[in-house]
Structure 1
Amino acid sequence: MSDIFEYAPAPESRDVVDIRPSYGLFVNGEWIDSLGDERHKTLNPATEEALAEFSYATPADVDRAVDAARKAYDSVWGRMPGRERAKYLFRIARIVQERARELAVLESLDNGKPIRESRDVDLPLVAAHFFYYAGWADKLRHAGLGEDPRPLGVAAQIIPWNFPLLMLAWKIAPALACGNTVVLKPAETTPLTALAFAEICRQADLPPGVVNIVTGAGETGQALAGHEGVDKVAFTGSTEVGRLIARSVAGTRKKLTLELGGKAANIVFDDAALDQAVEGIVNGIFFNQGHVCCAGSRLLVQESVEDELLAALKRRLATLRLGDPLDKNTDIGAVNSAAQLDRIRELSDAGEAEGAQRWSPPCALPDKGFWFPPTLFTGVAQSHRIAREEIFGPVLSVLTFRTPAEAVEKANNTPYGLSAGVWTEKGSRILWMADRLRAGVVWANTFNKFDPTSPFGGYKESGYGREGGRHGLEAYLDV
């Protein structure tokens, strides 16, 4: 009798979602056709199946959305008492909870992430952000941001494809709580949950024009961020695009927050609980296929425990299951797009060419779709591209250190500064490290833990401004 357990497939049903063949734009509480003719299909990255067709909004479409947001701000939302705005946010949060199964399946279909992550991480956090900021809507004077904080007006918000619905919640919930109206552009590869959220806004009887959603690619985002009628720009995405947006906003009255790339160090000391650290390393880089801006993509391990930790980590990677994102047993889903898969392959090949040793567990990849196995590199130098550039995939670079000072120096040797992790049993060492790491978030003996009450953001090329917590209100208030 074999002592290896086999998992029976446990697929989540697709019948809980109703995907339309075609979508327009959501402006002023209604579905409208784009003024342009350009339309594209969004694909299921696990199968390359076309899910739906959607519009690419033109600059004229963006004009219509911004005008609708301005009218809603001037006539209704900007004047509404906080306690009344809170009711709408609470209502949205409850509807998200009621439709959580449907939204989780839709997210996994469109994004490629495992259903366990969509169901157990993304959707609970989406609802939690709306509940949390609903609580702030009538308490803004007590946020420590001045006696009479006022909304900015119209917020232009551009979100990425790695956490489509969660990033929407991070942006929209505080904006609405503070009294702003919104024009949001989802990523061109993952528009479906944002379009579903438009229906949730209607279901919650949100006044027309308070939330507007325009789909498209970079040109649509550029038209939105550069629009003279917006008072605030919030962008989450690549550092390269963030630089372009910062240049376009410079010299204007617009307020700007940027949450950009990262190359986080996950630092393991010799006194750490190694089995616990292994789970944190796996969660840090292989969660959501590594499509995480704060992913722990650099493992810094103290030299004396390197062999022991790597042996345990390889054993753990051999148990990860790659496959159908809708299967509840799946740990590693599909890479979001062919373009992202090419980027991961390019940087991984560069790692080998520069002399690092590549290792992946035995892993059969499906014939169709965009897939990349969990991978780690040893023998990595700080000059290697895989140690410096954001791969945004399930690829871990392993480096070593001898002293805490060396660990800090190597961890900070990056143009990014979004997050870091520290694994040790010494509380004094955790505090010593956290004080010296140039990262917006430092996790201690855990990784990738999020809560709506806690601020998130980075330094250097990881952007500026904070989302989440009381600090996240400041970005949407004139204080």
Structure 2
Amino acid sequence: MNRLADLVDKHGEILAAIETLDNGKPLSVSRSFDVPHFSEVLRYYAGWADKNPGSVIDVGPKKMAYTVKQPVGVCGQIIPWNYPLDMAAWKLGPALSCGNTVVLKLAEQTPLSMLYVASLVREAGFPPGVINIINGRGGEAGAALARHPDVDKIAFTGSTATGKEVMRMAAGTLKAVTLETGGKSPLIVFDDANLEQAVRWAHEGIMANQGQVCTATSRLLVQDGIYDRFVERFKAFTEETSVLGDPFEPQTYQGPQVGKAQAERIMSYISSARDSGAEVFHPHKQPVPSKGYFTPPTILTNVGTKTAAFREEIFGPVAAVARFSSEEEALEIANATRYGLAGAVFTRDLGRAHRVARDLEAGMVWVNSSNDSDVRVPFGGVKESGLGRELGEDGLRGYYTVKAVHVNLTDE
């Protein structure tokens, strides 16, 4: 694993270029985050390979008991198109660390970077059959993995609807399942928040990666006393920062969406919000490029909290902004969703920060930041945002079984 991480670093420039060509994200991001993060995850889980022992349990003088952690077996892993390299690393790392073999199914929209990594897998010295990388459409190749009787576990990242289908198919053989699915995460800004800090992170939380992030904090809940100032500054900051253009140009912040279908989906939600009475603001200085599937960064205000744009995952650079008066109202709005992936809260009140973090129905909460995840910290959701965890020590738990051994120490 460490050798593969070293090879990925060595081939970093070409991998970054492939990732940008395939996905549309800025080269600066592929180079500074996506490729280095792949290596970081592999090295992190390589370090766990000899640090995940079983335990000995005291059951009295006549007997001993201990547990053994054993590999699950063959792990089918289905990755999405928004972070092709990094989502592969999140799944490969813990699976390999626990001694499993892997069949990795790439997203049909973005297969190229991991196909390049496949050649490095061989060079790194993995035995044949340990890492198997396949292509195919989800409805065929992904379904075949989920149903196959010789696949012991399925790990899936993607939409909630597809995750439910994967779970149904895996149920036929009672496979272990890990799902990281959709989200519509709230970002709550209280009156006492640091305004510039909240604006900066709110922008990063929804506009990064063309808004194609499962944990995107796409619902901005802003308290009455700071609402007008926040919206004004958020619009200005987005206009200054969200530069659309060629993803290979260094000044570009936002490249094209991954494809035509995704761009059309985003624009349909914006049209629906406008028809429902929302005010639609596109804060960008330059015209939207005509070549490529670009969608403008969009801020929706006066948007109803029961509208599709506020409740459904858009998976694009669209922020829906709503007001609230009290902490209780903010939590009521934030939790009124079938999703529970993440949330963020901005306040200088430490007690409030911990209360809201506790009461948000989410697998992850950021306080005074958004989407700055860490390889050492578990990642995953509740409700219809998934099952299980990735990253951190908790990310190992889906890739081993625990066997209990009882030993009679007497002649009885």
TM range (shorter): over 0.9
| Range moving further from structure 2, 115-124 or 198-207 | 115-124
Change over 3 Å in CA distance of 1:380–1:274 after alignment to 2: same
Aligned ranges 1:127-166 → 2 under 5 Å: 127-141=39-53, 147-166=67-86
Is 1:352 paired with 2:274? yes
Structure 1: gaps of 5 or more residues: 1-88
Structure-2 separation of matches of 1:178 and 1:383: 44
Amino acid at match of 1:415: R
Show the 5 A alignment for 1:151-190. 151-190=71-110
| 1:125 corresponds to which of 29, 37, 43 | 37
Partner in structure 2 of residue 24 of structure 1: none
Contact 1:184-1:214 within 8 A present in 2 as well: yes
Q: 1:422 to 1:144 in 2, by over 3 A?
A: farther
Partner Cα distance (1:371, 1:352) in 2: 19
Q: How does 1:34-113 map to 2 (within 5 A)?
A: 89-113=1-25
- Residues of 2 paired with 1:229 and 1:91: CA distance? 29
Distance (Å, rounded) in 1 between the aligned partners of 2:271 and 2:392 = 40
User: SS at 1:141's partner residue?
Assistant: coil
- Is contact 1:143-1:470 (8 Å) kept? no
Instruction: Give a deviation string over 1:176-231, Cα, whole Å, max 9, x none.
Output: 00000000111111000110110110110111110111101121111111111100
CA distance in 1, matches of 2:237, 2:385: 30
- Flag the 1:363–1:414 CA change in 2: closer, same or farther, 3 A: farther
**1:36 corresponding residue in structure 2:** none
CA deviations over 1:393-440 (Å, ceiling 9, x no partner): 000000111111111111111100000011111111110001100111
Give the Cα separation in 2 of the matches to 1:378 and 1:143: 55
Asked whether the 8 Å contact 1:165–1:194 carries over to 2, the reply is yes
Task: Give the secondary structure class of the aligned counterpart of 2:378.
Answer: coil
**Amino acid paired to 2:214:** C
Q: Distance in 2 between matches of 1:451 and 1:99?
A: 23
Contact between 2:362 and 2:381, CA under 8 Å: does it hold in 1? yes
Q: Which runs of 5+ in 2 are unaligned?
A: 58-65, 403-412
Aligned: 1:335 with 2:257: yes
User: Does the C-alpha gap of structure 1 residues 233 and 379 become closer, same or farther in structure 2, counting only changes over 3 Å?
Assistant: same
Alignment of 1:375-394 (within 5 A): 375-394=298-317
Q: Identify if the C-alpha distance between structure 1 residues 300 and 220 changes in structure 2 by more than 3 Å, giving closer, same or farther.
A: same
Residue 148 of structure 1 aligns to a residue whose secondary structure is strand
Cα-Cα RMSD: 1.4
Instruction: Name the counterpart of 1:298.
Output: 219
1:342-363 deviations in Å (ceiling 9; x for gaps) = 1101111110111111001243
Alignment of 1:400-411 (within 5 A): 400-411=323-334
Deviation of 1:251 after TM superposition, in Å, equals 4.9
SS of 1:155's equivalent in the other structure is strand
Q: Are residues 281 and 226 of structure 1, via their aligned partners in 2, closer, same or farther at CA, if it must alter by over 3 Å? A: same
Amino acid at match of 1:207: P
- Structure 1 match to 2:238: 317
Q: CA deviation at 1:129?
A: 0.5
Secondary structure of the corresponding residue to residue 149 of structure 1: strand
* TM-score calculated relative to the size of structure 1: 0.80
Aligned to 1:147, the other structure's residue is in SS state strand
Structure 2 distance, partners of 1:248, 1:217, is 16
Q: Map 1:26-41 to 2 at 5 A.
A: none
SS at match of 2:173: coil
**% identical equivalent positions:** 48
Match of 1:277 in 2: 198
Number of matched pairs: 391
* Amino acid corresponding to residue 135 of structure 1 in structure 2: G
Q: Is the 8 A contact 1:154 1:229 kept in 2?
A: yes
Cα distance in 1 for residues equivalent to 2:21 and 2:67: 46
Task: Give the Å deviation of 1:264.
Answer: 0.3
Matches of 2:223 and 2:34 in 1, distance apart? 33
Change (3 A) 1:202 1:143: farther
1:240 pairs with 2:161 = yes
Equivalent-residue separation in structure 1 for 2:56 and 2:132 (angstroms): 30
Task: Please give the alpha-carbon distance, in whole angstroms, between the structure 1 residues aligned to 2:194 and 2:56.
Answer: 39
Report the counterpart of residue 44 of structure 1 in structure 2: none
Secondary structure of the residue aligned to 2:191 is coil
